[in-house]
Homo-oligomer: A and B are copies of this chain.
Amino acid sequence: MKRYEDIKKVPYAGASGKDPFTFRHYEADTIILGKPMREHLKFAMSWWHTVNAGGTDMFGGETLDKSFGKSEAMAKCKAKADFAFELMEKLGIGYYCFHDADVAPEGRSLAESTENLNEMAEYLLNKQKQYGVKLLWGTANMFSDKKFMAGAATSSSADVFALAAGKVKAALDATIRLGGNGYVFWGGREGYDTLTNSDVGLELDNLGRFLTLARDYARKNGFAGDFYIEPKPKEPTKHQYDFDVATCVNFLRKNDLLQDFRMNVEANHATLAGHTFQHELRMARVNGVFGSIDANQGDLLLGWDTDQFPTNVYDTTLCMLEVLQAGGFTNGGLNFDAKARRASNTFEDILFSYIAGMDAFALGLKKAAAILEDGRIPAFVKERYASYSEGIGLRIVEGKETLASLYEYAKDKESFPVESGRQEYLESIFNDILFS
C-alpha cells in the first residue's frame, strides 16, 4: 500500500474509484446550486484531534506517535504546524481551527504562554500565506490544566476567572492577527459536577460577564467576525451550562448577547443532548443563530463523545439541507472535530478518515441539493400548512383573532379533519433520492 508520504494530493477519482487515496465524491470545483462544493462546505481541520491527539483514551495510552521526531516544546509545535499545513494541502482543505494550547507550548505564566502563542502565530501566519489556507476560528483551552478543575469563567476562584479572561485576550489577539472570522467558546468545564457544592446562579452570571468582556474587547480591537458558543450537554462535567442550542440562546437573550453570538453546532454533542444533529441546526436556524458546524458523528448507543469521522450519509444530507436552507455559511464553516479511531493508528488512516468524512459531506450536499431540486418534500411541507395562508389561519397569523373569537369560530363545528403526515411516504422519497 502507498504510504502517507507518497501522497501529494488526494485527487477526485469518481464514484467508482477504488484507490483508497482518492475522493470518490468530493470534487472541490463542481458547481452545486450555483456555487462550487468547496464554498458550500468550507472544510476545516481541527488541530487538537488531527495534529495532537495520539489515541489516548480513559483506558489506554497513545497508539500513534505525533511528536514528529522532536522533543523540545517549541520545535515540536513548529513541526506539527508543518505537518498540519502539508496535510491540508494533500486534502485540499482551506481552513483550520485551534485552541491556544494546541499550537503553542504552555509557559510557567500567562505572560510566557502568550509569548509562545505570539511566536507561533507569526509562524502560522507565514504558513497561511504559503499555503493559501485561512483560520476559520480560534479558541482557548480552559479545561485541561488543573487550574480549570472547577471551571474557567465559572470557576469558584476569582483568580481563575481572571486568568481565563487573560487567556481569551491572548487567543483573541492571535485570532485577529491570523485573520480569523470566528472565535469559539466551547464550555470546557463550565458546568457543575454536583449541585450540592455549586452556586449556579453566580456561575451563570459570571459566564455572562465573561462573554460580555470578551465581546467588548474584541469589537474594540477590530474583530468583525462571529462569536460562537458550542453547545454540549455533559462531559467532562455532569451538566455543562451550554446544554443545547435552546439553552444557549436563552442564556444569550438573558445576557443581551444575541447580536454577537451564533452557534457552533456539533453533531455528537447534539445526540448526547437527546437531539438529532438536524434538530440542533433547525433550532439554530429558527432562533437566527446558525453559524458554524463541528462535523463528526457519535454512536447513539454510547453515552460519551466518540467524535467519529462522519460517514452516515443520511445525517450529512439532513445537515446540508439545513445549511442550504439557512443560506449557506457566512463566517462559519465545517470543521472536522473528529478523530480517527484509536485502532486506526497510522498516518494513512488520517487521510482515510478525512476522505471518508469529506466524501460523506460531499454526498450529503449533492443529495440535499437533489431533494430541493426534486421538490416533492418541500412542496409537501408547504401544502401541509396551507391553511395558515388564508382565512382563519391567516387571521391567526396576522394577530386578528382572540381566544373568544376563536371559540365562536369553532364551537359548532363537528369535524376537524387533519391530513396525514405521510412520514413513511416522505422517507421513501428520501431514500429514492439518496439511492438513485
Contact = CB atoms under 8 A, between A and B. Distances in A.
Contact of A146 (B197, B285, B418): B418
Interface string A31-57: 000000000000000000000000101
Interface stretch (A70-78, A128-136, A243-251): A243-251
A410 B279 contact: no
A299 B150 contact: no
Contacts of A4: none
Query: Lowest 5 CB-CB distances: which A-B pairs, in order?
Result: A303-B303, A158-B393, A250-B250, A343-B421, A165-B406
Interface stretch (A58-66, A85-93, A119-127, A175-183): A58-66
Nearest to A246: B247
Interface stretch (A259-267, A327-335, A377-385): A377-385
B411 A110 contact: yes
A12 interface: no
Contacts of A197: 380-381, 384, 421-423, 426
A372 interface: no
A387 B246 contact: no
Given A249-B250, A385-B156, A421 B166 contact: no
Interface in A267-307: 271-276, 278-279, 282-283, 285-287, 299-305
Contacts of A299: 238
A412 B422 CA distance: 46
Nearest to A150: B418
A146 B346 contact: no
B109 A195 contact: no
A3 interface: no
A248 B209 CA distance: 23
A198 B159 contact: no
Contacts of A422: 197, 344, 349, 352
Given A157-B387, A381-B198, A145 B392 contact: no
Interface residues of A, number: 168
B406 A166 contact: yes
Q: How many copies of this chain are found per oligomer?
A: 4
Contact of A61 (B144, B189, B213): B144
A155 B286 contact: no
B428 A355 contact: yes
A155 B384 CA distance: 10
A160 to B, nearest CB: 5
A209 B423 contact: no
A201 interface: yes
A111 interface: yes
Interface in A132-168: 143-150, 155-163, 165-166, 168
A174 interface: no
Interface in A193-223: 193-202, 204-206, 209, 213-214, 216-217
Interface in A358-412: 359-360, 363, 376-377, 380-381, 384-385, 387-388, 391-394, 396-397, 399, 401-404, 406-412
A250 to B, nearest CB: 4
A282 B162 CA distance: 27
A6 to B, nearest CB: 16
A393 B353 CA distance: 31
Contact of A356 (B166, B406, B424): B424
Q: Which of A247, A274, A422 has the most B CB atoms < 10 Å from its CB?
A: A422
A220 to B, nearest CB: 9
Contacts of A396: 158, 161-162, 206, 209
Given A57-B236, A114-B411, 18 more contacts: A59-B188, A60-B189, A109-B411, A149-B342, A155-B418, A157-B387, A157-B418, A159-B392, A165-B407, A196-B430, A199-B384, A238-B299, A244-B246, A246-B251, A247-B250, A344-B423, A345-B418, A434-B435
